[in-house]
A and B are shown apart, each in its own frame.
Chain A
Amino acid sequence: MIWLSRDTTKTLLAVHGWSGILLGLLLYAVICTGVAAVFATEINNWASPLTRDATISLPAGVDRAVRDLAGQVDPQYHEEVATWRGAGGRLIVFFHRHMQDPEGRLNEYGVQFELHPETHEVLARREGWYDDIAAQSRPEGVAAFLVDLHVRLHIPEPWGLLVTGILGMAMMIAALTGLFAHRHLLKEMFTLRLAREALLRRRDLHVVAGTWNLPFAFILAFTGSFFSFATTLGLPLVAKATFGGNEEALIETLYGAPREEKAEPAPLADLDAMIADAAARSGITSHFIGIERYGRADATVWVYQPLPENELVYTSHLYDGTTGEYLTERPPLGQHPSLGASLVGLMYPLHFGNFAGIASKAAWVGLGFAGAYVTLTGLLLWTQRRIDQRAWQRMARLVHYVGYGLPLALACAPHAHFLFQDSTLSSGTLQGFAFIGAAAVAAIVSLACDELRRLRRILLTATAVAVLALPFTRFAGGGPGWFEAWSSGLPGVAGVDITLLLVGASTLWLARRRVTATHAASLRPSLEARTGSA
C-alpha cells in the first residue's frame, strides 16, 4: 500500500512486534476491561437495581433534596455541591471542598449522600476523600472495579495513569507501524487462509482483524493516552510553564467562571427551574449539576446534559445561583468556543462511545472486542514464530494464561460482590480477592497443563461457567428474579442476564469447537503437541 524500503519495513515490523510483545499483555487487560466498561451504567443498574426510573437524567425534586441535605452538612463543604444519578437510578449529592490530600494532590473532601430518587430517603451517608467514598459505594462496586482496572490497572495514582498512558502509546505505535509495514493492506483485507498451516493462519487472523480495526485502534489509543497523560504529565507541565507550577490557577483558567466575589450569605434560587430551563434550551434533560459557593451571593450553578442529537462537543449552562438568571452556555474549557476546547470535548464521545445510547455503545463494544482480538492474536503469532526457543515457549504459555485467564478472573470477580453483600469489606476489596484467587488457580492450571490447546479449552470452559453462573449468583445475593424485575419496571435486569447467558453459551461453544480435519492434518505433530491452536 505504501512503498517503503526493505530495511525500513523490517525496522517497522521489529518496532511493531517488540512494542507489542513487551506491553501487549497489559494492553490486552486494559482493552478487555474497556470493553466491559462501555456498559458501566447498565452493569451498575443490573447489579444494584432500585427503581424503574434508572436513567441518568436528574429526577424532579432535586432542589428540595439539596436544600434539605445542605442543612445537615458542615458549611465548609458548601464550597461545591455536585448532583448526579448513580447505580439503579440512585440520586447522589456530594457536598465538598478542594484541598490537598495526604499525597499532596489537589483532591475533594466532603460528605456524600445516596438518596432514593423518588422518595429522597437517605440510603447512605459517607464522609471522606472522594476516592475513598467511591470505593465504599457498594451499588457502584461491580462497574467501579472494571473501570478502575481499565483506567489505572488498580495501580495508585499517578503511576497507574502513567502506565495506561504508555500502553495507549504502544497501541498507537502498533497501529502506525502496522499500517506502514503492511504493503498489501487493501488487497488482503478479506483473505483468511484458515485451512493452511498454523503460522499462516495466525498471521492472517491477526492482519485482517488489525486492518479493519486500524482507524479505531488509533482513535481509542490516542484518546485513551490523552486521558491518562493529561492530568499526570500534560497539565503539570503546562502549569509549570505558564503559572509557575500553580495547577489550581491553571484549572481555574480552564474551567472557572470568574464572577465578582460576594461572600455574604444568600439563599440558592430554584434549582428545578434552572434544570427545566436548561432542558428547554438544549432539548435534552440534564444529568449533572455543579453548584459553586452554595449559600453565598456569588453562587454559580452549572447544568450539564448528555450530548444532544448529532453534537460531538458537550457544553454546560451557567446560572446565577441566587437569582436563577441564565448567564451563558460554556464550552468544555474556557469562556468561549475554541479549537482547544473542541478537541478536548471530542475526546469524550470518541473514547467512551456513549453519545447515542445503546447503538453507539454496541458499536464501541464491537470495536473494543476487535482490539482485544488483534492484541491476543499478535502475541500468539509472535510466540508461535519463535516456538522452537525455550524462552518463547514459556512466553507462549504466559500468553495463553493471560489471554484466556484474564476473562475468567474478570468473570469471577462479581460473584464475590453478590455473595458477600453483608461483608464489612468493600465491594472492590472482595472482587479483588476473587479476581486474584481465580488468577492464581488459572496460573496453577497453566503451569500444570502440558498442552496449550487443552489449556485454552479449560480456561475458556471455566470462563463460560463463571459467566453463565452470574445471573444465578446475582439472584442468590438478593437481587430480583425476572418476574419481580419485570413487574417492577426493571427490564434491564433480565436483559443483562440474558446477554450473560448468551455470552456464556458462545464462550462454551468456542471452547469446545474442534479444528477442522484439514487444519489438524497440516500441523506438524511435534508443533501441535507444544503449541495447540487458537
Chain B
Amino acid sequence: MLSGAVCVGRLLLLLLVIQMIDRMAYRTRELILDLIFESAMNCKNEKMGLMAKARLWCQAIKMKLQAMSIFKLQSKGERLAVTLGLIIPRKHRHVIGDILEDCAAMRKVGYAERHIKCYVVWQWLLIVMQLVPSGIINWVIQRLSSPK
C-alpha cells in the first residue's frame, strides 16, 4: 500500500515537473532576461553596499552567460539537457555536465540525435526520481492518504 502511494506520489510530482519544463522550454530566455533586468534595477534603485551590488551583478552576468550557452548549442539533445538542468537544484547540477559528456561520447560513437534526446530525458527523469527531496514525497503521500 505504501509503495503504491510512493509511486503515485512520485508520478504526480513528475507530472508537475514535466509541466514546468514545458513552460520553461518556451520561456527560458525571457525568464533569464527578466532576472537580469530585475537584478540591475535592484542595483540602481536600492541603497546597497558595494559588495552586495557586485554580487548581484556577478549573478546577472553568470545568468546571461548561461542563457547564451543554451542558445549557442547546436544539438537538440544537449539543449534539452541544459534546459532541464535549470530546474534541478544547484547542488546536483554537476550531473547535467555528466549527461552532456555522455551525449558527446554517444555522438562520437554515431548515435542518432533522437537516441541522444531519449537518453537525456530518461537520465533526467531518473535523476529527478532519485534525487528529489524525500520531504516533498512524504508531503504528497500525506495529502493522498489523508481522510476526506
Whether chains A and B associate is: no
Which residues of A are at the interface with B, using a C-beta cutoff of 8 A?
A: none
